[in-house]
Amino acid sequence: MAGLEDIPLDRRPKHVAIIMDGNGRWAQQRGLPRIEGHLRGVESVRNAMEACRDFGVQVLTLYCLSSENWKRPAQELEFLMALLKQYLIAERETLVEHNLRLRVIGRRDDLPQEVQAEIDATLEACRNNTGMTLCLAINYGARSELVDAVRALSARVERGEIRVCDIDEDMISSALYTAGIPDPDLLIRTSGEMRVSNFLLWQISYAEIWVTETLWPEFDRSHFVQAVRDYATRSRRFGGLSEAARPS
């Protein structure tokens, strides 16, 4: 656990979400095809998973494929689907060995059938695991998630299961893809972009945001330590006052 020994567990984030950005730029800067950046990015995924396990993080959510990414060139999309399928197969044994739970959020029905099959196989393999949760956001968009939640709640109203006046924040949260998962404490974005890119818009309302210029293929354990150290220095007020600012 080198690097965070002096940070108490209660000062570390329980849920870390990461916008993994910069694969294409990393490759282009080196005169390589964009797909090489995606290949290199898989190693950064492993680094982040290992760091989270070692540092007591309970949930790691990774923005793997946004619903907007379908606008990319067909060849790159085909490669991303093949890479995702390969990752699910290659990492299945590791997930089981390390007792990692798996969640997949997003509109899965739009994914190729062979990718959906590997998702199902990996979910089944991890079904009885009890350790850290790895949550993969695949074909995910926060606005689409909110639309789906509204539709689900509206259907319940139509069936007479709930009344409109029953709908509150907890009920909306329970209708999201992330139902049962605590909201992120820390949102990390690589590549220096200062936006959240339609990622977990409801869930990150009070998350601390940490942005690094580092491109995702170069993101390693040391960057994760920096992010957690910075998080530990912040005062999370959730709209209230800090202890120092409260009247005596």
Cα first-last separation, the chain? 39
Tokens matching residue 189 = 């974005």
Q: Catalytic residue among 69, 129, 183, 198, which?
A: 69
Annotated catalytic residue within 21, 23, 139, 185: 21
Q: Can you read off the two tokens belonging to residue 38? A: 């995606």
The residue behind tokens 């590791």 is: 94
Residue 128 a catalytic site member: no
Note the Cα 201 to chain centre separation in Å.
12
Neighbours of 126 (CB within 10 A): 19
Element (H, E) at 18: strand 15-19
- Coil, helix or strand for 188? strand
Residue 23 annotated to the active site: no
Report which of 74, 75, 78 is spatially closest to residue 86, judged by C-alpha positions. Answer: 78
For residue 70, which amino acid is it?
W
Cα–Cα distance between 167 and 170 in angstroms, integer?
8
Q: Please give the Cα distance from 34 to 14 (Å, whole number).
A: 33
Q: What is the spatial distance between Cα 189 and Cα 60, in angstroms, rounded to a whole number?
A: 13
Catalytic positions are 21, 69
